[in-house]
Amino acid sequence: MSGFMADGSFTGLSDRADHVRAARPTATAVVHPLVPPAAVNAPVCEPIYQSSAWSFDSLAQAEAVFSGVAVGIPHRAYGSPNHRLLESLLAELEQAESCVTTAGGMSALAAVFWTLLEPGARVIASHDLFGVTAALLGDMQRWGVTTTYVDATDVGVVADALRQSARLVLIESISNPRMRVPDIERLARLAHDHGALLIVDNTLAGPYHCRPITFGADMVVEAATKALAGHHDVVLGAIAARQEIITPMRSLIERAGLGPGAFDVWLARRGTMSYALRQERASANAAQLADWLAARDAIQAVHYPGRTDHPDHEVARRMLTSGYGSMLSLEIDTSHLDVDTFLAALEHIRLVHSLGGAATSLSHAVTMTHRCAGEDRRRELGLHWGFFRMSVGIESIADVISELERALHDAASTER
């Protein structure tokens, strides 16, 4: 029998010159070409397992693979060796028993909600969540799921909310976009005392800076699209937790077709090779940039957990490691500076509805991250026209500062 082996090598007929075969019909030859001999060595780079269908030698082998007795791939909907490798890596990074990948960060959250919630269930969520996450929780109302929003940095407020039964407590390790840092350890104990699970969206901190499971969280969700993959060329989500939690979620993801393609997984795996180096550089850049921005008259406020004036700085010192992350937010004084002129004056710092790339970028809260939140909700969160989230990259920080300085100068010179 000839074909591709699980390790990416070939097996089958030799292509030696002394091996002679009778000419076959073209229609057969193009579908079943002669397979070259297997290589005795292995590729350095992981191959991409693009095949959606996988063959079996026998019914017995098919039964063993489908039942889980033997390691194999029933169908690409169940993943591939690319998926298994990345999931194993992410589980290790998050210090979790198991991990499953999805077609995006939001599909990861959707899988969590659809698996763990039922009509009548209640969620307690941080009021300072990514706007699309709050919108997804709003969508869950049609199935009878309610959400109570609280200040997750106030443990007393969360405790009051838990006096009424709740299934899940949902927070972000660093909130998007106000960069608040809750005490994961205390919230985990509190949630468990009331029979709830603590879920942490770890996208802004990532496992380089924070491992929520080590603080008692039950589950971590990552938009691996962002810093983990790191190059704005893939959309991918991940859920890491105990095996007993991941198993039913994996089944839902497989049945609902929520899994990512092999190429996206391969790209993400390639991106993770430089993840630690990128985060080390970007985090150092962000710390320096936060201090520089805070000294500018046109900037009303800078939100960065590494600054001592941040309201959660002491908590961040315990929750975060190896720096305070590559994300910050800034508030421009729109009474003295024209936002559109500021943006137009930027050359390399681009306006992007994403984060975590190698290049520094800006995202606008009103028109991008929280456009679906509504004006009243944005006002409650303090998100105004001059509020920007900045994803700090790995460029020379001197160049980033120089570009921002020119843009602030040009915008301040514009007639109001």
Domain at 173, CATH number: 3.40.640.10
Q: Domain boundary at 253, 270, 287, which?
A: 270
Q: Is residue 60 part of a domain?
A: no
Q: Are residues 356 and 264 in the same domain?
A: no
Which parts of 78-218 are beta strand (E)? Answer: 98-102, 122-126, 146-150, 168-172, 197-201
Per-residue pLDDT of the chain (416 residues; tens, 9 = 90+): 444 455 544 454 444 444 556 788 989 988 888 888 888 998 898 999 999 999 999 999 999 999 989 999 998 888 899 999 999 999 999 999 999 999 999 999 999 999 999 999 999 999 999 989 999 999 999 999 999 999 999 999 999 999 999 999 999 999 999 999 999 999 999 999 999 999 999 999 999 999 999 999 999 999 999 999 999 999 999 999 999 999 999 999 999 999 999 999 999 999 999 999 999 999 999 999 999 999 999 999 999 999 999 999 999 999 999 999 999 999 999 888 899 999 999 999 999 999 999 999 999 988 887 877 777 888 888 889 899 999 999 999 999 999 999 999 998 876 55
- For the chain, the straight-line distance linking the first and the last C-alpha, in angstroms and rounded, comes to 77
Q: Is residue 31 part of a domain?
A: no
Place of tokens 């994403």: 354
How many CB atoms sit inside 10 A of residue 319's CB? 23
Domain range for 245 is 73-270
Q: Are residues 259 and 391 in the same domain?
A: no
Q: Are 390 and 327 in contact (CB under 8 A)?
A: yes
Q: Are residues 248 and 182 in the same domain?
A: yes
Q: Is residue 103 part of a domain?
A: yes
Q: Are residues 183 and 202 in the same domain?
A: yes
Q: Are residues 180 and 204 in the same domain?
A: yes
Q: Are residues 132 and 238 in the same domain?
A: yes
Q: Is residue 58 part of a domain?
A: no
Residues 6+ apart with CB under 8 A from 123: 117, 137, 140, 145, 146, 147, 148, 166, 167, 168, 169, 170
DSSP 267: H
- In the three-class reduction of DSSP (H, G, I as helix; E, B as strand; rest coil), residue 130 is classed as coil
Q: Domain boundary at 270, 301, 324, which?
A: 270
Q: Is residue 323 part of a domain?
A: yes
- In the three-class reduction of DSSP (H, G, I as helix; E, B as strand; rest coil), residue 357 is classed as coil
Q: Is residue 347 part of a domain?
A: yes
Closest CA to 266 of 7, 52, 45: 45
Q: Are residues 221 and 308 in the same domain?
A: no
We report the CATH number of the domain holding residue 291 as: 3.90.1150.10
Q: Is residue 64 part of a domain?
A: no
Number of structural domains, the chain?
Answer: 2
Q: Domain boundary at 250, 270, 290, which?
A: 270
Q: Are residues 265 and 280 in the same domain?
A: no
Q: Is residue 29 part of a domain?
A: no
How many CB atoms sit inside 10 A of residue 309's CB? 10
Q: Are residues 249 and 129 in the same domain?
A: yes
Q: Are residues 209 and 190 in the same domain?
A: yes
Calculate the alpha carbon distances from 105 to 108, 143, 259 in Å. 5, 21, 11
Q: Which amino acid is at 381?
A: L
